[in-house]
Amino acid sequence: MPYWAIDNLPSGIVQDMAQHVMARQKFDMPMLAVLAGFTALATVSQNAFAIEYGLHFTPLNIYSIGVGRSASGKEAGRQLVRLAGDLVSPSVVGGKLVSERALFDTLQASAEIEAAGTPMKTLLWDEVWQLFEALSSPNPSAHTSGMLASLLEVYNGGTSSIAVPERAARNNTGDPVLYGPFVSIMGTTTKERLFASMNDTFLRDGLVGRTMFVAAPQGPRKPFGYDAPANVPEALLDALTAAAEACRGVGMAFATGGVDTRHRLSVQAAGEGRNSKQFVRVHLSRERRIRLEQFADSFPARFGEGSPIQTAVSRASDEQVLRIAGLLAVGRMLDTAAIMGDSITDCIGEFGVEIDDACLDYAIEFVSYLMNGLAVMAGEFDGGSSPAEKQKAAASQKIIEAARDPENAPVKNDKTGQNIRRALREGWVTQTAVSRILRHTFSNIRDEVMQDFVDRGEFLEPVALPDHLIDPHAKKRSGGTGSGWALGWRYAD
């Protein structure tokens, strides 16, 4: 169970949101809880922040689909996001849309609401497979094709402008151009529905590459009679309320000098100065940008060359990491304001918003987990590449799960299993652990999986184990030898 996704969050406000959501879930689903926290923060941010990434400006909206069983507690995350939306404007959060025209109608309407401050919408789209199944259809309807194309266009719309298609114009009224449309999607579906749509055409689509698919493993069911918290904790509600008010007033803060211009990012939309949008700059240092680019360049190599899943992963793995890291940076800024007792505007003015190593490390780990999960799902349902590549993807995910959650590693609870868990807790994956965890995987596949981890720097080269971690049974058989891989993210220089 990936509890690390909550425990390792470098932002207190995001962690508080995720913990609240999981406390309200029928079954523990930490990945969905974290996803709800990110979506809620994206909604509250109201497109007030943008990351300067080379020559590009990246907004902080996100697209995601949570994949889990029916009646498992997915509603808990939606309730948090609705609350976040209500703090911005009652009309900001909506449900599924039936057409491209409906999408632009709702964005044009929100642009006219002063409280929202930007054309924005957060869509809580239950059973979103009904939209995405069109990606695998050879003859989707014109309505669906237009919707998919528009969702792909507005994904990066927060820092640009989009002309409303004539076919989607609202009775020829409203501004024909949307400046900075800011759309987030938190969809939900079941594995069965998603897998029915999953084929090569689906995986190669650009919208799929920009959507985070969050496979939600379920932990134990809450005890009968469990009293879930009825309301968001008061301190968390106060923090979200303050964030919504501050983000709404960012433009005024720049105008009055409340925020230093060195933290301002001005993007001129469509060449018209009157529509120049002011953002708080989310800073990414050159060194961290290089790290992100190296990740984006090397990560797709773990999947089959030219395979559909590699195409999906390579399209936007860096952009997904960038947006998650940016949201965490905003969260950490909100944490700082709360700790210091300063207003959020003053905190931005003094410190700015910075993607530090903690934000980037977590974002890379989080997105890698999601991408590996998508590869496993694609392999299980014949959407990946060769059988060997599917086996490698599944085996990699098992090792990652065991390293992240030693207590639930899939090994027996005998003396050898206990020794494996002890080594995992201390940052080592032993050769015995690999043999046990991947006991149904061909040995050549096991070797390739571990070598791939080493090549990517996620593990160090195998070396002799410290004496206290050598399996006593192996020690008796082999005269005291034992080897393993140290986890690169803990021990690498």
* Confidence (pTM): 0.72
Do the domain assignments include residue 370? yes
Any idea what the CATH number is for the domain that residue 81 is in? 3.40.50.300
Q: 48 and 174, same structural domain?
A: yes
Q: Is 39 a residue whose pLDDT tops 90?
A: yes
User: What span, in angstroms and rounded, lies between the C-alpha atoms of 166 and 107?
Assistant: 15
In a domain, 394, yes or no: no
Residue 61 in domain: yes
Domain boundary among 330, 351, 385: 385
Which domain range does residue 214 map to?
A: 4-385
Question: Are residue 374 and residue 415 in the same domain, yes or no?
Answer: no
How buried is residue 226: exposed, middle or buried, by Cβ count under 10 Å (0-12/13-18/19+)? Answer: exposed
Mean of all residue pLDDT scores within the chain: 78
414 and 369 within one domain: no
Compute the distance between CA of residue 186 and CA of residue 17 in angstroms, rounded to an integer.
15
Of 204-218, 277-291, 352-366, 445-459, the range with the lowest mean pLDDT is 204-218
Q: How confident is the model at residue 9 (pLDDT cuts 50, 70, 90)?
A: very high
- Mean pLDDT is lowest, of 50-64, 406-420, 450-464, for 450-464
Residue 475, pLDDT > 60, answer no
pLDDT tens for residues 125-147? 887 766 766 665 666 666 667 77
Closest CA to 419 of 401, 398, 435: 435
Residues 329 and 411 in one domain: no
Q: For residue 395, tell me if it sits in a domain.
A: no
Same domain, 426 and 324: no
Shared domain check, 423 and 325? no
Range among 106-120, 171-185, 454-468 with highest mean pLDDT value: 454-468
Domain assignment present for 254: yes
CA distance 147 to 138: 16
For residues 376 and 241, the model is more confident at 241
The pLDDT value recorded for residue 165 is: 67
Q: Do 415 and 362 fall into the same domain?
A: no
Share of the chain above pLDDT 90, in %: 13
307-337: pLDDT as tens digits: 777 777 776 778 899 999 999 999 999 888 8
Average pLDDT over residues 89-110: 79
Strand partners, 485: 429
- Asked if residue 390 has pLDDT above 70, the reply is no
Distances (CA, A) of 205 to 44, 132, 199, 200, 469: 29, 10, 10, 9, 47
Query: How many independent structural domains does the chain possess?
Result: 2
Q: What is the pLDDT of residue 355?
A: 93
291 and 226 within one domain = yes
The pLDDT of residue 259 is 47
In this structure, the answer to whether residues 166 and 33 fall within a common structural domain is yes
